[in-house]
Structure 1
Amino acid sequence: MNALPPRPGTTPWPRTLGLTLGLVALVSALVLAFLWPSVTADPRDLPIAVAGPAEQVTQVEAGLEASSPGVLDVTAVADRSEAVALVEARDAYGAIVLGPAPEILTASAASPVVAQLLGERATALQVQVDAAAAAHGAPVGSAPTVVLTDVVPLSPDDARGTTLAAATFPLVLGGLVGGVAIALVVRGTGRRLAGLGAYAVGGGLMIAAILHGMGGLHGAFLADSAAVALTLLGISGTIVGATTILGRPGLAVGPVVFLLFANPISAAAMPVEMLLSPWGAMGQWFPPGASATLLRTLSYFPGADASFPWLVLGGWAVLGVGLVLAGSVRGGTSRSTAPTATSAPAVDALATVH
């Protein structure tokens, strides 16, 4: 028996079911993309420094590897000042200082998770110090106490670092919304570029002001504004450029590249090393990861080298503008070479005369 045709104005059943299955696949991909990095996150090769005599450093390094294989990547340094320098340059998440004044250095501003992990090592280090003192015949209780020092603490206004960590997702959404709106509403290459520039500058100033007011950012205001502006321009410009070249299908570039792929591996709320390799490092090559790293560096690590995230954000901004210009040139060439509706009759008329 043949199926009844759909009533006028109704959607055919195959299309309805196909749309439903597509939506299920989409929401499943979203859930997987956002949960997978957190579920698979695990401490791996976290760089720390160990300062003290070479023999003691070797013993501590062997003990750390035996108790937590593959968790910490130890760099031996001469003294406490060199260890502090590595932490302040974001080359190490913390340090263990050996000798007559044992100390564990942390940097909660770099990662509260790693700071807590290193803080838990204080007890184990104290046991080792007590055992060493007893082995040399020192009275019980005379061993020095292990001191825990947060070298680069989080601001009291954002004691848990949640504001700074949560800022990445709104920045991605802001770039997506701005890019889609400009691509759909604004016509003309110059107007699109002007819209992107005005949106990036205005959004950078406003968002930086909001984050400063909420205690999430603590760097120089103009530098923070520039970082946010480049993030918005890189994301929105790429969407507008892709739409200029591909048409409406180009709108999908933003959600797929920046929301589904780049944002979950941005390492905004955890160390890069905790993500499965190579995804954590790969995430730093996209605007969400680069902006999260740059804003944290500007706020808490002014002495660290921030050239890489600046270059990444600048590169995406240039890419977006370049795609818009390339799309306009391509469109202009197509229009100039295609026969117009008025030229065809004229050609036919000339052919008839000759």
Structure 2
Amino acid sequence: MTDTTATASRASSEGRRVALLVLGLTALLGIMLTAFALPAIHSGAKGDVPIGVVAAPPAADQLTQRLGGSFDVTVYPDAQAARQAILHRDSYGALVVTPGHLEVMVATAASTAVAQAITQVGTGVAAALHVSPSVTEVRGFPAGDPRGAGLSAGALPLALGGWIGAVLIMQLIASSRSRIVAVFAFAVVGGFALTAIIQFGFGTFDGNYLLTSLAAALGIAATAMGVLGLRELFGNIGLVIAAVALILLGNPLSGLTSAPEMLPAPWGFIGQLLPPGATGALLRDVALFDGWGATHGLIVLVCWLVVGLAFYALGLRRQASKDIEPSAQPDETAATVDAAH
């Protein structure tokens, strides 16, 4: 009777665990679907996308008011200044109004989605002003990948690669120092390999291969070291935190398929503070815009790298303290016995 009761109790307990696991996994799938789908569904110009306007004062004021609900408008003195702003990553495009004509300046390399949105807006403005429009591509992707699909597709492999790489390094390498060496070696080799695939295989980049590879290496190092540090300091919970930051949030909020400014606030800003978004932006700026606008991505990735190293060192120190404590107990016991005698 006792054995039967125990068996029934174990079966009931296991059934509850199965039910909780199924419910937890279902909730996780729902959260993942929401995280991936909502930014795409609600993306669009919402007043944060920088755009330039070149026009005479009355027309410039009218355009600023008309575009203000969808774009962050800056008035430039001439077309050359607007072009420089685009190339320096201060603006995604510009509308240049001259008598009888409207020139729509876009930079597909900055964002295909934003370039399309600016083109549509420019066409509407030209119709309202009864002038003829034209579209000027200030900086596009190379002919091998005119839509920049190679860059957009790189966010998830980067996030997964950094996470998986860190986990494998922890599983296969025992030495703490060797793990750090492995992370940086993986980052350098992986960075050069990743850039070679995107630049020479896909044709997405046409910039300096060495500098772009170093930018990719920094992204991989920051990602992997962040995972390693979180795992060492917080255990398996750290791996969960890393997976959420890199995959569940970092990938859909990276803005690589549209632009950070087109995501619902504050998600676009948050995405640029995570390695996938920061690495994607850094690669775009270095490979396609000669490094203009790269400061933010550099700062974010260096912070992830430094914090990851700090977490790793703190985790090792805590583990070393735990290892010392048990060995001290016999000595303390012996000292107590000697004192009693």
TM-score normalised by the chain length of structure 1: 0.86
Give yes or no for the alignment of 1:58 onto 2:61. yes
Once structures 1 and 2 are overlaid, which stretch shifts more, 205-214 or 179-188?
Answer: 179-188
Residue 202 of structure 1 corresponds to 189
CA–CA distance in structure 2, aligned partners of residues 292 and 18 of structure 1: 37
Q: Which amino acid aligns with 2:269?
A: A
Q: Which amino acid aligns with 1:180?
A: V
Residue 136 of structure 2 corresponds to 149
Q: Deviations over 1:148-167 (max 9, x none)?
A: 11111121111111111111
> CA distance change for structure 1 residues 31 and 4 in 2, over 3 Å: closer, same or farther?
farther
Q: Deviations over 1:84-132 (max 9, x none)?
A: 01111111111111123531111111111121122223433433453xx
2:203 aligns to what SS in structure 1? coil
Q: Which amino acid aligns with 2:86?
A: V
CA–CA distance in structure 2, aligned partners of residues 99 and 191 of structure 1: 63
Larger radius of gyration: 1
Kindly state the Cα deviation for residue 256 of structure 1 after the two structures are TM-superposed.
Answer: 1.7
1:36 aligns to what SS in structure 2? helix
1:294 aligns to what SS in structure 2? helix
Give yes or no for the alignment of 1:75 onto 2:77. no
Kindly state the Cα deviation for residue 217 of structure 1 after the two structures are TM-superposed.
Answer: 2.6
Q: Which runs of 4+ in 1 moved over 6 A?
A: 7-11
Q: Deviations over 1:269-311 (max 9, x none)?
A: 1111111111101211111111111111112211623111111
Give yes or no for the alignment of 1:284 onto 2:287. no
* 8 Å CA contact retained: 2:53, 2:96: yes
Across the aligned residues of Structure 1 and Structure 2, the Cα RMSD in angstroms comes to 2.5
Once structures 1 and 2 are overlaid, which stretch shifts more, 287-296 or 215-224?
Answer: 215-224
* 8 Å CA contact retained: 1:107, 1:153: yes
Residue 199 of structure 2 corresponds to 212
Residue 126 of structure 2 corresponds to 126
CA–CA distance in structure 2, aligned partners of residues 116 and 276 of structure 1: 19
Q: How many residues align?
A: 335
Residue 48 of structure 1 corresponds to 51
Residue 33 of structure 1 corresponds to 35
> CA distance change for structure 1 residues 63 and 19 in 2, over 3 Å: closer, same or farther?
closer
Kindly state the Cα deviation for residue 340 of structure 1 after the two structures are TM-superposed.
Answer: 5.3
* 8 Å CA contact retained: 1:189, 1:325: no
* 8 Å CA contact retained: 1:200, 1:229: yes
User: Residue 173 of structure 2: which of 178, 183, 186 is its match?
Assistant: 186
Map residues 168-183 of structure 1 onto 2, 5 A cutoff: 168-183=155-170
Kindly state the Cα deviation for residue 350 of structure 1 after the two structures are TM-superposed.
Answer: 4.1
CA–CA distance in structure 1, aligned partners of residues 291 and 126 of structure 2: 32
CA–CA distance in structure 2, aligned partners of residues 300 and 15 of structure 1: 51
Give yes or no for the alignment of 1:315 onto 2:303. yes
2:256 aligns to what SS in structure 1? coil
Map residues 228-307 of structure 1 onto 2, 5 A cutoff: 228-302=216-290, 304-307=292-295
2:144 aligns to what SS in structure 1? helix
> CA distance change for structure 1 residues 303 and 314 in 2, over 3 Å: closer, same or farther?
closer
Once structures 1 and 2 are overlaid, which stretch shifts more, 241-250 or 319-328?
Answer: 241-250
Q: Which amino acid aligns with 2:81?
A: E
CA–CA distance in structure 1, aligned partners of residues 228 and 336 of structure 2: 40
Kindly state the Cα deviation for residue 238 of structure 1 after the two structures are TM-superposed.
Answer: 1.8
CA–CA distance in structure 2, aligned partners of residues 150 and 170 of structure 1: 30
CA–CA distance in structure 1, aligned partners of residues 46 and 107 of structure 2: 17
CA–CA distance in structure 1, aligned partners of residues 334 and 121 of structure 2: 86
Kindly state the Cα deviation for residue 216 of structure 1 after the two structures are TM-superposed.
Answer: 2.3
* 8 Å CA contact retained: 2:113, 2:257: no
- Give unmatched runs, 5+ long, in structure 2: none
> CA distance change for structure 1 residues 19 and 295 in 2, over 3 Å: closer, same or farther?
same
1:158 aligns to what SS in structure 2? coil
Q: Which amino acid aligns with 1:15?
A: R
Give percent identity, aligned residues only: 31
